[in-house]
Amino acid sequence: MHPSNPSTDAGVRNLHAAAPPVPSNFIREIVLEDLKTNKYGGRVQTRFPPEPNGYLHIGHAKSICLNFGLAAEFGGKTNLRFDDTNPSKEETEYVESIQDNVKWLGFNWDRLFYASDYFDQLYEWAAQLIKAGKAYVDDLAADEIRTYRGTLTEPGKDSPYRNRSIEENLELFARMRAGDFPDGSRVLRAKIDMASPNLNLRDPVMYRILHAEHHRTGNKWCIYPMYDYAHGQSDSLEQVTHSICTLEFEDHRPLYNWFIQQLGIFPSQQIEFDRLNLTYTLLSKRKLLQLVEEGHVRGWDDPRMPTISGIRRRGYTPEAIRNFCGAIGVSKTNGSIELAMLEHFVREDLNKRAPRVMAVLRPLKVVIDNYPPGQVEEMEAVNNPEDPAAGTRKVPFSRELYIEQDDFREDPPRQYYRLSPGREVRLRYGYFVTCTNVVKNDNGEVVEVHCTYDPQTRGGNSPPDGRKVKSTIHWVSSAHAINAEVRIYDNLFTKEDPNQVEDGKDFISNLNPQSLELLAGAKLEPSLANAAVEGRYQFERLGYFCVDPDSAKAKLVFNRTVALKDTWAKVEKKIEKKTEKR
């Protein structure tokens, strides 16, 4: 009955475009220099190395864009490597979601690895270091190791076990692997320098005993390598040329290099950049896990979560995220980026591509008294003024409509130009209408607005007398409307820095109790009847919205991705401020 445009039905599709442009930065300069000096034979090999202990977040997106973007720019390749050296915290669910997320962001890895693929090789190399007198088995307990390590101002002390013979070390290490000792009773340490000004070089632990089942190696191992021992060697095995990671690993770089030098293996190089921090947002898998486990959000993909799965469900596009990551760049000092900047990139991308539709979130009934009962006109509406190729669609107009409650005021304040008694406004793509009277309920609330229309303004065009109106409002024909639930989101935290808490409290105390508002009675234009999950639209004058997977045939569910800039709210604030001053 209402021919709908296919581009409207599907919403915005994901464009798996080429890698984003990488603006000039210090990492790129290092790569360029290495290419010039032929350090790696003209090769660029990067890797993205997540630990599968949670879902990826927007901070990881920055790392993904950098790793994949750099390699792509220089004809190189990027591996995906799961850093799965912590068996007790890792799960297959995370491995799957991470692969989904990377693909969704628009990237294809070259080879897929797991650090656990290298457990045999890492064990052999550890034995090699023992034989070279560069590693030893230590029987000190964890807290003793900590005390012996010293502080930034005091050198460390040698462990009494530091000078065991090579034979004894080899035998004990083999028995650690064989399962002869309980968890925590012994460790393997690198023998470097207990007086080094860099604490990471004071005989760091290479292996710990952990009788835990691993998601891939099962019960084959009861000793597991530490991050610092596994990471660089994994890079080297994959012949990674530029191993980029976040700044907190800067002090670990000498250790990264030490293992590679001692073993005489491929010289991968580590380069550090700043972590992404966003205002009103927490980017830590551990804390995000707490939000999920304690039920503060509906899951890892709750649209309020900064996870890739969450912002995808919210309606953010991969293009917007990639453009954002390109724009923030990289630096050598940690800072914080305004959440508003991310939202800007989302709006900018959706503005170009999201089909426009009319939807009323908080409906108020309007009856046009002089419009013929039973008559329906198909009004032509533009799908996207930013994209002429998106074409037009038909929207039914009839005698009874819904408008937003916000678009009517019985007693309009100054500078409020929308509908009010005696006032004429334009119904977008419809007609000029003038409010004649209202119907109220027993509480004195307006429940129905009565209007007349001017037949000479069909399509919303000015009449022959050139009369103008100051406001255009959107509407939905009540007989044709589709019901929907709309979920409006606000920041998950009330504080710019959610980690800033009063004594004795934690970040949970900064949760915004109003981060989710449910509008169960929204009315949508009928072209949305076939909207597909993840379809993205601009609801005219309201913002960008995306179809949630909770949708059913009988009831669509939309998430508000991001609001349009609300000009009226700004005017109202200005007026308020002026009044306060007086």
Site for ligand ATP in 24-53 (CB under 6 A): 49-51
Do the beta carbons of residue 209 and residue 222 sit within 8 Å?
A: yes
With CB under 5 to 8 Å by kind, the binding choice for 50 among Mg ion, ligand ATP, none is ligand ATP
With CB under 5 to 8 Å by kind, the binding choice for 275 among Mg ion, ligand ATP, none is ligand ATP
Active-site pick, 51, 171, 485, 534:
51
Residue type at 218 in one-letter notation: G
Q: Quick check: 60 binds ligand ATP (CB under 6 A)? A: yes
Site for Mg ion in 36-65 (CB under 5 A): 51
286 vs 467 by CB, closer to Mg ion: 286
Verify whether residue 51 is a known catalytic residue: yes
The nearest distance, CB 22 to Mg ion, in angstroms, is 25
SS3 525: coil
Among the listed ranges 281-289, 304-312, 371-379, 510-518, the one in contact with ligand ATP (CB under 6 A) is 281-289
Exactly one of 285, 314, 423, 541 binds ligand ATP (CB under 6 A); which one?
285
Q: How far apart are CA 54 and CA 394, in angstroms?
A: 45
Do the beta carbons of residue 190 and residue 135 sit within 8 Å?
A: yes
The nearest distance, CB 197 to ligand ATP, in angstroms, is 24
Q: Count of residues binding ligand ATP (CB under 6 A)?
A: 15
Question: Nearest Cα to 199, choosing from 170, 225, 233, 228?
Answer: 228
256 vs 397 by CB, closer to Mg ion: 256
270 vs 561 by CB, closer to ligand ATP: 270
Verify whether residue 285 is a known catalytic residue: yes
The contact mask relative to ligand ATP for 226-245 (x = CB under 6 A, - = no) is: -------------------x
Q: Quick check: 284 binds ligand ATP (CB under 6 A)? A: yes
The nearest distance, CB 410 to Mg ion, in angstroms, is 57
Site for ligand ATP in 171-190 (CB under 6 A): none
63 vs 515 by CB, closer to ligand ATP: 63
Among the listed ranges 69-77, 278-286, 292-300, 331-339, the one in contact with ligand ATP (CB under 6 A) is 278-286
231 vs 394 by CB, closer to ligand ATP: 231
With CB under 5 to 8 Å by kind, the binding choice for 283 among ligand ATP, Mg ion, none is ligand ATP
Residue with token string 């309201």: 542
Q: What b/e readout covers 521-554, taking b as 16+ CB neighbours within 10 angstroms?
A: ebbbbbbbeebeebbbbbbbbbbbbbbbeebeee
The nearest distance, CB 304 to ligand ATP, in angstroms, is 17
The nearest distance, CB 101 to ligand ATP, in angstroms, is 12
Q: Which two tokens stand for residue 248?
A: 């907190």
Q: What b/e readout covers 460-483, taking b as 16+ CB neighbours within 10 angstroms?
A: beeeeeeeebeebbbbbbbebbbe
A 10 A CB-CB count for 386 gives 14
Strands 536-539, 516-524: pairing kind: unpaired
With CB under 5 to 8 Å by kind, the binding choice for 145 among Mg ion, ligand ATP, none is none
Active-site pick, 149, 157, 275, 298:
275
Q: Give the CA radius of gyration of the chain.
A: 31
The nearest distance, CB 417 to Mg ion, in angstroms, is 54
The nearest distance, CB 192 to ligand ATP, in angstroms, is 24
Instruction: Please identify the residue of the shown chain whose CB is closest to the bound Mg ion.
Output: 51
Exactly one of 122, 226, 276, 360 binds ligand ATP (CB under 6 A); which one?
276
Strands 446-454, 363-368: pairing kind: parallel
Angle at Cα 365 formed by Cα 363 and Cα 370, nearest 5°? 150
Q: How far apart are CA 518 and CA 520, in angstroms?
A: 6
The nearest distance, CB 142 to ligand ATP, in angstroms, is 21
Q: Quick check: 339 binds ligand ATP (CB under 6 A)? A: no
- Long-range contacts of 307-312, Cβ-Cβ distance < 8 Å, separation of 24 or more: 307/55, 307/56, 307/57, 307/58, 308/55, 308/56, 308/57, 308/58, 308/60, 308/61, 308/101, 308/104, 308/105, 309/55, 309/56, 309/97, 309/100, 309/101, 310/55, 311/58, 312/101, 312/104, 312/534
- 159 CB contacts (<8 Å, ≥6 apart)? 138, 140, 145, 148, 189, 203
Instruction: Please identify the residue of the shown chain whose CB is closest to the bound ligand ATP.
Output: 59
Q: How far apart are CA 234 and CA 254, in angstroms?
A: 16
Q: How far apart are CA 242 and CA 54, in angstroms?
A: 25
Question: Nearest Cα to 380, choosing from 342, 430, 334, 416?
Answer: 430
Exactly one of 271, 283, 327, 367 binds ligand ATP (CB under 6 A); which one?
283
Site for ligand ATP in 61-100 (CB under 6 A): 62-63, 83
Active-site pick, 285, 312, 394, 487:
285
The nearest distance, CB 257 to ligand ATP, in angstroms, is 17
Q: How far apart are CA 525 and CA 484, in angstroms?
A: 10
By the criterion CB under 6 A, which residues form the site for ligand ATP? 49-51, 59-60, 62-63, 83, 245-246, 275-276, 283-285
By the criterion CB under 5 A, which residues form the site for Mg ion? 51
Catalytic residue numbers, as ranges: 51, 275, 285
